[in-house]
Structure 1
Amino acid sequence: EEGPRDTTREEVPLDSSQDLSSLLERLAAAQPDDHARAALEQRVRAQLPRLVQYDATTEDHASTSTARSSKSCSEVWLVGTGPGDPELLTLKALRLMQTADVVLYDRLVSPDILRMVHPAARMVYVGKAAGQHTRTQEEIHTLLGYFADAGQAIVRLKGGDPFVFGRGGEEMEYLASMGLEIKCVPGITAAAGICASLGV
């Protein structure tokens, strides 16, 4: 039987040879001026030991993903992506995005963040706008259950924090009713991100 309809991410093309260095180059190129690029480089240098370790772990994605998918126990993570700036992602969110088999993502997840998902992951768009839902909440629940039953490592990406103006609680309750556990990675809320940007 054919599974639920998938949605591609044509608006966010990915090069299969994407690696950490090319990602950092793109982030630097996106900075508005030399001062911003220098600040980015300084932050990267401070995080370099952990980033190098992270980059090494992503090389094993294909083999670990295949091994995990062959198990009956699935893994479901509800991940907040913050206000849209890739540099405000947590390291845990980044690691999960690089090891997921399936990623269900919302409208408010920025293209820059979607580019950080491993190219081998299956992308399913479940975004909503006023009066224009690509999926109902019930359909999102069904998709989560479908991929969980298949033993997939699932990341449910949400903008901001999953529990602030989101329906993360409903998704957790639904999976719990199926006897499945869903874990959460918090994200910076849009309000907090704006205040930080404005220096409030």
Structure 2
Amino acid sequence: MRLPALLLALLAAGCSGAPAQLAHPAAQSGIMLKGSGEFSTNDPDIITYDRGLVPVGAQANVTSESTAGRTLTSLMVENFRPGRAYGAHLHTKPCGPKGEDAGPHYQHVPGQVSTASEVWLDFTTDESGAGHASARHDWSLDSTRLPRSLIVHARPTTTSGPDIGMAGDRAACLTLK
């Protein structure tokens, strides 16, 4: 029987006493921000502002990993409205009782509204209300100025013109830690 290459590498690393080479880079150095749970109306870390768009039972999981000059941010949602498009962005402040408490969009280059500077995670849900999005950037998060939340917006992000970056009302918020 042949062992898969990954299992052989793990066994070799464990037997040689060498440090594991398969650990996630963000675990070795860099920044990792996470937030997850079921949206509520009474938990300030994961809150719903519009139950018509983010129903009871809606859940989200967001991770932003930054290392070696790159950042990968991933979002997965479940139990949202089926077949619907949403906007989602990282924001500068933690969630609060009102949507505007999360502050403006996080911008890698302050004042630059674009997919290159902001983290846009628009998604469309399937027939079960599940959706996902990811964004990759060729820059690292600054540990002195981190995004603190993810806001789910009522509509997809406008990608050009005078309303670039706009995505409608704030429907829900998830604090990043």
TM-score range with shorter-chain normalisation?
A: under 0.3
Name the TM-score, length of structure 2 as normaliser. 0.23
Higher RCO (CA 8 Å, separation ≥ 6 residues)? 1
Q: Return the structure number with greater strand share.
A: 2
Q: Which has more radius of gyration?
A: 2
Q: Return the structure number with greater helix share.
A: 1
Name the TM-score, length of structure 1 as normaliser. 0.22
